[in-house]
Amino acid sequence: MNKIINKNVFILLIIILSIIPVFSLLNPGLPITHDGQDHVARIANFYQNLTEGNIIPRWAGNLNWGYGHPILEFLYPLPSYFASVFHFLGFSLVDSVKIVFGLGMISSFFFMYLWLSQFVSRFSALFGAVLYTYAPYRFVELYVRGDIGEHLAFTFIPLVLFYIHRIYKRKRFIDAIFGSFSLAFLILSHNGISLMFMPFIIAYCFYLIYLSKYNKYLILNTLFLILIGFGISAFFWIPGLLEGKYTLRNIVTAGGYIGRFVNFKDLLYGPWNYGGSGVFTVQFGLFQWIAIIASPFVFLKYKKNKEKLYLLFLLLMYLVLAIFLMLPISNSIWERIILLQNFQFPWRFLAIIVFSTSVLGALLIDAVPNKFKAKLTILSIIIILAISSSYWKPKGYMQKPESFYTSIYESTTDTGESAPIWSVRFMEKRPEANLEIVDGDARVENIERRSTYHKYKVVVNKKTIFRENTVYFPGWEMKANGKQVDVDFHTQHYNGVMKFTLDEGHYTVEAKYVETKLRFFADVISFASLASISGGFFLYYLIKIKTKK
């Protein structure tokens, strides 16, 4: 059967299997999910920033009932950049988001196959890619939760590993360059998932360095990949990490994991549904459990193959840790490690299960005698398709006009963790005016209003206190006739909006959101990293030309 399925048929099979899960996205409207609508609203604000010249959007001016919100600084930006490209090309915001979801599912299949095919047979790699794409949790992400960031991150996990493995095999600097972009894209796709997988990525590097007998070229190139990957994404993760102290993040997420642990029996099986946390299925999947149970057999098969044996050991260690952290028995660990609490939900570690069992499944099929590989793979894929077919669709679709997402949005689109610590988690009504008179006698005329720039003409007849109904966050500056104005954002009952005072006179008042020193420093690191990539490309091709001569 292996011979019957020629190369072209095999490629067609890969294409078909990769697109089956996303057919439901072709239906009109936005799939009804937990977060889907909010993601569209965030991306609408992100795109507006881009059209206004803010190439690194950090402030969502229309969110939070029009008071604005710093969520874009802390929200993984890559899905928004991708969706913005499609929206610029003429697709609606909803369709742009659906395209990103669809491409994320398809590309994750291809990249997992691509990485696995470096060290297992093509049918083994195909089976691993199917497990990776058709795992129940992947459909929870796509059609139940609608988490575009976590969903897209699954694309870049195997791609990073692919380039690390290519460096190990080919020892070419170009792979380190592409690998650094892959790592940056992973970090920019979802900070939580990238943090979750970073220990594995680093361990994978050490594992290959060990196999290569500490080859200096491999060490230098993997080090370059990791440092430049972090450098490119620095504009996001440095401010997100260090300016989080100005938000309610640690307050909102503290203790959020309590009551979110899963029962072991639910990891074995849970009925499919579209409910929230604690209701939707957290099952691993039938073949995922088979891959785990059969791992001792795989160990015996590869006891003389160091590369596969060490990878198997690393996967099982990571898998056991993930299972432990999802169960109530790990409560004391969650209590002590504050960083762990930022994951919020123990079931988020299902991402590790999806990845680990996919690779275990590929190694299992690879351990099967060659004459059975193709038949067993095809039969298993047919069963997987039959079992998961009811997961391939959302519970419904919503139809809302584009203006619903682009105008004032009556939500922060998160649980309040990104709200400034001097404000409240959620505003409750729209402001009466953009620039409101609190006390005094003045006349206000709105001149210009963009996401990060507000301009007014103000005539003050006697000393007046104003309230600029934008929530303050470091970076906001208020000027009157070009001179800095002191802003008070701690006034009780004002929920963190900017208050200032002007004496009698005529003024041009401007509120502008600028980069703080920290953000500017992070931007410089990202720019310098991209510049080093350009220099690396130039050096690579210069050496290549000289070698040919």
**Maximum pairwise Cα distance, the chain:** 91
Residue 379 phi, psi dihedral angles, 5° rounding: -60, -45
Q: Does the CA dihedral 159-162-164-167 come out positive or negative?
A: negative
Counting Cβ atoms within 10 Å, is residue 489 exposed (0-12), middle (13-18) or buried (19+)? buried
Report yes or no: 278 and 260 within 8 Å, Cβ to Cβ: yes
Q: How far apart are CA 160 and CA 188, in angstroms?
A: 13
* Distance, CA of 138 to CA of 14 (rounded, Å): 18
Tell me, what's the pLDDT at 431?
A: 93
What whole-number distance in Å separates Cα of residue 520 and Cα of residue 235?
A: 8
Q: pLDDT tens, 361-393? A: 999 999 999 889 999 999 999 999 999 999 999
CB 463 within 8 A of CB 502: yes
Task: Tell me how far apart the alpha carbons of residues 320 and 357 are, in angstroms, rounded to a whole number.
Answer: 11
End-to-end CA distance of the chain: 47
Q: Give the C-alpha distances (Å, rounded to integers) separating 470 from 62, 341, 473, 474.
A: 10, 30, 9, 12
Distance CA 194, CA 218 (A): 22
Spatial separation of the C-alpha atoms in residues 529 and 187, rounded to whole Å: 15
Nearest to 190 by CA among 160, 218, 152, 216: 152
Show pLDDT as tens, one digit a residue, over the chain (549 residues).
555 567 788 889 999 999 999 999 999 999 999 999 999 999 999 999 999 999 999 999 999 999 999 999 999 999 999 999 999 999 999 999 999 999 999 999 999 999 999 999 999 999 999 999 999 999 999 999 999 999 999 999 999 999 999 999 987 888 999 999 999 999 999 999 999 999 999 999 999 998 888 788 899 999 999 999 999 999 999 999 999 999 998 888 877 788 889 999 999 999 999 998 889 999 999 999 999 999 998 888 888 888 888 999 999 999 999 999 999 999 999 988 888 888 889 999 999 999 999 999 999 999 999 889 999 999 999 999 999 999 999 999 999 999 999 999 999 888 889 999 999 999 999 999 999 999 999 999 999 999 999 999 999 999 999 999 999 999 999 999 999 999 999 988 899 999 999 999 999 999 999 999 999 999 999 999 999 888 777 776 776 666 665
The Cα–Cα gap between 317 and 311 comes to: 10
